[in-house]
Amino acid sequence: MVAGVALLAAGGIGINFSPNALTVALASAVLGLGHLMFTIGGQSSIARFFPDSDLDKGFGWFTAAYAAGQFIGPLIGGLVLGSGTDAASPERIAGISLSLWIAAGCSLLAVPFLLPSWQPRISKTAPQTRPAKSEASIPSVLRIKGMASHMFASMTLLAMLDILTAFLPLVAEKHGVTPEDVGVLLAIRGFASVVSRLFIPKLSAHFERNHLLVTSLYISGIAIALAPIFIDSLWASGAALLVGGFFLGLGQPMTMTMISTSVPAVDRGAALAVRLMGNRVGQVALPIISSTVAAGLGPAGAIWFCCALLCLSGAEKSVRR
């Protein structure tokens, strides 16, 4: 996890100093690797050491922290970039550079909390046992009943976040909406996800996980699709992202719990790593496909395409039951 944080910071700084698109791509790959390492470490710790009854709570709080970052980040970025609408101005380039430095600094703030002195202490009197080694493979994980369905849902939920962050500013720019307002809109989505994830333990105690996940997929897909349509009316677009963000926030921790409980405890880290691999495949493939759609329908088309995938995943899970 410490190495992941360091790579996140290095990736942000690398993008800042990149002179061309190729080095931006390479620095982005470093940033993505750092995110992957940190996420695998964090999710594996929860899946391995939390009892089944507390998995929803553990994953809920872990992803709530992610959503908090997704709430604070766009808000800071929007404030730094300001209200200008000239995307190529020197002021905008300087603002982007400052935003990347702030992001790298925020990443490094996590390092002290990951040092050994902050980690849980194990009693020296307790018997020390070597944890069993997982022998799970990618094919063996994917063959488990329902695993591919859970992974498809997870992939579309995560891709929705990336595509919304990438394409909503383009929709806004086309309609003359300022970066400040876009930052607020994306922050509303992030804030709603924080709230929903804090309520996951209570919701999962009253509703079946599969029902929560299917509801999350349908409502988030429909609500977020409305945001580009009403982008000229910030309160209407904000309301759509508030509802969509709340239900979008429920989906990711639900898939983590469902994947974790589908395999033996010793294989949970491996299963979550396979899930992340599927997510990364989606993060590569879906933006490319969405960009192709956007070429014909405009940037809003990319968002609508991913919303359609969310609803398709919900329909697949409904039929599977």
* Residue 247 pLDDT class (50, 70, 90 cuts): very high
Give a yes or no: residue 264 inside a domain.
yes
Separation CA 186–CA 168 (nearest Å): 9
CB neighbour list of residue 295: distance below 8 Å, 6 or more residues apart: none
**What is the predicted pLDDT for the residue at 14?**
92
Longest distance between any two alpha carbons in the chain, whole Å: 66
Residue 82 CB-density burial (10 A; 0-12 exposed, 13-18 middle, 19+ buried)? middle
Mean pLDDT of 156-165: 88
Say which CATH number the domain at 266 has: 1.20.1250.20
Separation CA 70–CA 189 (nearest Å): 8
250 touches 203 (CB < 8 A): yes
Give a yes or no: residue 130 inside a domain.
no
In the block, residue with structure tokens 């992957």: 36
**What is the predicted pLDDT for the residue at 265?**
74
CA angle 205, 211, 212 (to 5 degrees): 65
Cα separation values, 266 from 142, 145, 160, 244, 277, Å? 16, 18, 31, 35, 19
**What is the predicted pLDDT for the residue at 229?**
93
* Residue 8 pLDDT class (50, 70, 90 cuts): very high
**SS3 state of residue 233:** coil
Residue 284: pLDDT over 70: yes
Give a yes or no: residue 217 inside a domain.
yes
Separation CA 18–CA 4 (nearest Å): 21
* Residue 321 pLDDT class (50, 70, 90 cuts): low
Give a yes or no: residue 122 inside a domain.
no
Residue 236: pLDDT over 90: yes
Give a yes or no: residue 33 inside a domain.
yes
Cα separation values, 93 from 96, 137, 193, 308, Å? 5, 45, 30, 34
Share of the chain above pLDDT 70, in %: 92
Residue 124: pLDDT over 80: no
Residue 158: pLDDT over 60: yes
Residue 120: pLDDT over 60: no
289-318 confidence digits (pLDDT tens): 887 877 778 888 989 999 999 999 999 988
185-210 confidence digits (pLDDT tens): 988 998 898 888 888 878 878 888 88
In the block, residue with structure tokens 């009854």: 53
Give a yes or no: residue 154 inside a domain.
yes
Mean pLDDT of 179-183: 85
Of 29-43, 50-64, 127-141, 174-188, the poorest mean pLDDT is in 127-141
Give a yes or no: residue 289 inside a domain.
yes
- How many domains does one find in the chain? 1
Residue 236: domain span: 2-110+145-320
* Residue 121 pLDDT class (50, 70, 90 cuts): low
Residue 176: pLDDT over 70: yes
Of 303, 320, 309, nearest to 258 by C-alpha is 320
Question: Per residue in 144-176, is it b (16+ CB within 10 Å) or e — as a string?
Answer: beebebbbbbbbbbbbbbbbbbbbbbbbbeeee
Task: Calculate the CA 276 to chain-centre distance.
Answer: 11
The residue that leads in pLDDT, 82 or 214, is 214
**What is the predicted pLDDT for the residue at 83?**
65
Residue 130: pLDDT over 60: no
Give a yes or no: residue 123 inside a domain.
no
